[in-house]
């Protein structure tokens, strides 16, 4: 009880832990300014896409039917489920309009990424340049991908810093589709799952709402430097017993 009282008095919650990751990319500042610059000041006669894959989405079917929501009671579903396979959602979020080009594919190799790039090429105005913000997944840097990009000069890839997926706006879309459609869904097959994903995309694109990036590079860099200073201080304390 005494320990609990001390924790409560000082607002300490040792049972809660938050994850974090500070990027050690040597080109962090350069890549950050490049990506954020596309968000805050997009180039003229161009479309900026935030692109990524949401892999291994499971088509889960509950073992028993769930109970509907009632006044004063939430809906219920069984904790166990049946697996009916997986799909991967490739998504390109138009940063300015909020529309999403989406395509479900069975895997997420460079072959599938090339197929998705060709889909983007077909579904966009050929007179516009395309700036794609992507992460450092090896698929995006495959030799065949580079060759295709060299033959399609209107495509420009911009890589986020390593360990900085939060810099890619399409992650916000993945969060929304997970919470609003996938997590509590019941899917009897992969085709059911793909249909649900396409219906969600169609509904969103009928009334798109863009995500607005507001943080400037200098603000982000200041926070990153502060985090690194804190980590260095903690490492010195751990390494030098005399500092404890």
pLDDT digits (tens, 9 = 90+) for 129-138: 999 999 999 9
What total of structural domains would you count in the chain? Answer: 1
* Band of pLDDT at residue 23, cut at 50, 70 and 90: confident
User: What is the pLDDT at residue 81?
Assistant: 80
Residue at 18 is within a domain: no
Residue at 31 is within a domain: no
Question: Which domain does 88 fall in, by range?
Answer: 43-63+78-213
92 torsion bin: left (phi>0), alpha (psi -120 to 50), beta (else): beta
Count the Cβ atoms, other than its own, within 10 Å of residue 143.
8
Residue at 227 is within a domain: no
Q: What percent of the chain has pLDDT over 90?
A: 69
In the block, tokens 């080009």 appear at: 101
Average pLDDT of the chain, as a whole number: 91
Residue at 172 is within a domain: yes
pLDDT digits (tens, 9 = 90+) for 193-219: 999 999 999 999 999 999 999 999 999
Q: What is the CATH number of the domain that holds 135?
A: 3.30.420.10
Residue at 130 is within a domain: yes
User: What is the pLDDT at residue 228?
Assistant: 81
Closest CA to 174 of 21, 38, 56: 56
Residue at 49 is within a domain: yes
Contact by Cβ (8 Å): 181, 197: yes
User: What is the pLDDT at residue 72?
Assistant: 85
Residue at 8 is within a domain: no
* Phi, psi dihedral angles at 77 (to 5 degrees): -150, 155
- How many alpha carbons fall within 13 Å on the CB side of residue 224? 20
DSSP class per residue in 30-76: HHHHHHHHHHHSPPTTEEEEEEEEEEEEEEEEESSPPBPPBTTB--B
pTM: 0.84
């Amino acid at each position: 009880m005494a320990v609990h009282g001390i924790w409560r008095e000082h607002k300490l919650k040792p049972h809660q832990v938050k994850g974090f990751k500070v990027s050690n990319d040597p080109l962090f500042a350069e890549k950050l300014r490049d990506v954020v610059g596309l968000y805050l000041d997009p180039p003229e006669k161009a479309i900026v896409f935030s692109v990524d894959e949401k892999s291994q989405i499971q088509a889960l079917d509950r073992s028993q039917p769930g109970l509907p929501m009632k006044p004063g009671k939430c809906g219920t579903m069984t904790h166990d489920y049946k697996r009916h396979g997986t799909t991967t959602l490739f998504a390109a979020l138009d940063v300015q309009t909020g529309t999403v080009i989406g395509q479900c594919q069975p895997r997420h190799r460079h072959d599938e990424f090339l197929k998705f790039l060709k889909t983007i090429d077909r579904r966009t105005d050929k007179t516009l340049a395309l700036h794609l913000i992507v992460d450092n997944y090896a698929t995006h840097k495959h030799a065949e991908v580079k060759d295709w990009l060299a033959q399609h000069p209107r495509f420009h890839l911009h890589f986020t810093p390593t360990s900085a997926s939060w810099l890619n706006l399409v992650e916000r879309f993945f969060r929304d589709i997970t919470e609003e459609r996938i997590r509590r869904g019941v899917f009897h097959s992969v085709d059911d799952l793909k249909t649900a994903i396409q219906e969600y995309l169609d509904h969103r694109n009928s009334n798109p709402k863009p995500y607005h990036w507001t943080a400037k590079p200098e603000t982000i860099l200041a926070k990153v430097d502060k985090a690194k200073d804190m980590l260095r201080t903690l490492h010195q304390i751990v390494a030098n017993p005399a500092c404890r």
